[in-house]
């Protein structure tokens, strides 16, 4: 079964082949940067998969071979006027990421190229990740936009990468390479590009043969542990998205110039 919805705003495609479902982010010209339409498609696909009891494993992958997902399309932030717009945006993203995390079957992110911002958050919500040697992971917003992540997203990165590497990404604005990602345990296998399809298929087959209830309960146990301490961070999101610096960051990005930070 294939679900598709072609759009000038890009697409997120779902293909179900037997016990495996494949989700593909398809906006190649923009390195698969997510539009609102694509986020809506992703949420609808997760809702569909939540009811698909025949599906035993789901893969997530970017089209084009150069990027998994290069974050959210920055041009969309031009319509933001207040910090509350940022709070609502982050709540929306958290809801969609939560839908990925809540899928009852194991999920595998196949990363080839850039995995940035919202793309890194999507990959972090998957259970397992394989990647090519040229893959890059990061959230360089301290150098580019001057916004911030929702506190739940920050917690995911700390849990997956550790505090030190999370600060390198979020404070220094570093992009981590495959060696960093593997050392942190974020990626469990490095695959050459010409072997990526074969290795992904092998892992899909292995997961599809495992006990579904064991995998589902294990996923839920880990999710409950991570959610045990409720985190409050809307005030921090509101401060960044309501700042002059954020508007300067968006303007500078769209005008292809360095931002001038004012600290306000």
pLDDT beneath 70: ranges in the chain: 1-8
Question: What is the pLDDT at residue 2?
Answer: 34
Structure tokens at 149: 């992540």
Question: What is the pLDDT at residue 8?
Answer: 61
Residue 93 contacts residue 139 (beta carbons within 8 Å): no
Which pTM does this prediction carry?
0.93
Residue 117 contacts residue 142 (beta carbons within 8 Å): no
Question: What is the pLDDT at residue 176?
Answer: 98
Question: What is the pLDDT at residue 231?
Answer: 82
Cα gap 123→128, rounded to integer Å: 8
Return the percentage of the chain with pLDDT > 90, whole number: 90
- Which fold, 2-193? 2-enoyl-CoA Hydratase; Chain A, domain 1 (3.90.226)
């Amino acid at each position: 079964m294939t679900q598709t919805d072609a759009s000038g705003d890009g697409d997120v495609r779902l293909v179900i082949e037997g016990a495996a479902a494949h989700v593909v982010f398809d906006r190649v010209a923009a390195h698969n940067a997510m539009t609102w339409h694509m986020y809506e498609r992703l949420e609808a696909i997760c809702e569909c998969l939540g009811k698909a009891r025949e599906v035993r494993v789901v893969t997530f992958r970017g089209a084009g071979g150069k990027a998994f997902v290069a974050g959210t399309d920055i041009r969309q932030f031009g319509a933001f006027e207040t910090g509350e717009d940022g709070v609502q945006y982050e709540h929306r993203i958290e809801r969609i990421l939560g839908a990925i995390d809540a899928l009852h079957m194991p999920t595998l992110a196949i990363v080839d190229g850039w995995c940035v911002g919202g793309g890194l958050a999507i990959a972090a919500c998957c259970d397992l990740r394989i990647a090519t040697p040229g893959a890059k992971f990061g959230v360089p917003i301290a150098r580019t936009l001057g916004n911030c992540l929702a506190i739940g997203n920050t917690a995911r990165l700390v849990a997956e990468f550790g505090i030190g590497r999370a600060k390198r990404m979020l404070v220094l604005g570093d992009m981590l390479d495959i060696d960093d990602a593997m050392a942190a345990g974020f990626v469990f296998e490095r695959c050459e590009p010409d072997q990526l399809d074969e290795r992904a298929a092998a892992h899909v087959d292995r997961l599809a043969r495992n006990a579904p209830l064991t995998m589902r309960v294990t996923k839920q146990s880990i999710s409950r542990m991570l959610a045990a301490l409720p985190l409050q961070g809307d005030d921090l999101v509101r401060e960044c998205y309501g700042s002059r610096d954020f508007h300067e960051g968006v303007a500078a990005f769209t005008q292809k110039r360095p931002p001038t930070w004012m600290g306000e």
